[in-house]
Amino acid sequence: MPLLNYTTGIDPDKTASEIAKCLSQHGAQAVMTEYDKEEGFVSALSFRIPIGERTVDFRLPCDWRPVLEILENGKYPRNRQNKEQAVRTSWRIVKDWVEAQMALVETQMVKTEQVFLPYAVGKNGKTLGEALLDNPTFLLGSGE
C-alpha cells in the first residue's frame, strides 16, 4: 500500500491552516504555527483547549524526515523524492489524523483531551510523549 498523501501538492502552510480551523471548531481557544528556523518549514502547531476550569496547552509536531526516507526508498517517482514533498505529505497525514480524531470526539467516543494527551505540554515545556520517551518508567513509577 502506498504512503498516504504522497502525491499531494498542497502547501504545508495551507494544511496547517486547515488543521488550525478544525481545532478551533472543536474548542481550541488559540492556535500557533511554529516554523523550523533552519529549514523554514512549518514544524508544529501549538494550541490551547479548555478542560473544566483550566486550559491545557498542546503541541502537535510534524517530523518530515522519516517521510523523506520512505519516499527515497525507490518505490516512489523521483519527482516525489525531495524535502518539500516530504513536508507536504507529512502535514497532510497529520491533517487526516486530526480529522479522524475529531470524528471520534464528535461521536462522543472520546474527549478531545484524551485524543491529544501525548501532546499535552507540561511545566517543563516537554510534551507528555517526549517525557515518556526520556523516562519510560514515568508511568510505571519504580517498576516494582
**Where in the sequence is the domain holding 126, given as residue range(s)?**
12-133
Q: Is residue 139 part of a domain?
A: no
The answer to whether position 31 is within a domain reads yes
Over the stretch 33-79, which tens digit does the pLDDT of each residue have? 999 988 889 999 999 999 889 999 999 999 999 999 999 986 898 99
Q: What residues contact 118, with CB distance under 8 A and at least 6 apart?
A: 127, 128, 129, 132
* 60 in a structural domain: yes
The confidence band for 143, taking pLDDT boundaries of 50, 70 and 90, is low
Tell whether 74 is covered by a domain.
yes
8 A C-beta contact, residue 47 and residue 17:
no
Q: Report the percent of the chain where pLDDT is more than 90.
A: 78
Taking only Cα atoms into account, the Rg of the chain, rounded to an integer number of angstroms, comes to 17
Which three cell numbers, joined as nine digits, stand for 77? 517517482
pTM (predicted TM-score): 0.90
Total structural domains within the chain: 1
* Distance separating alpha carbons of residues 92 and 81, to the nearest angstrom: 16
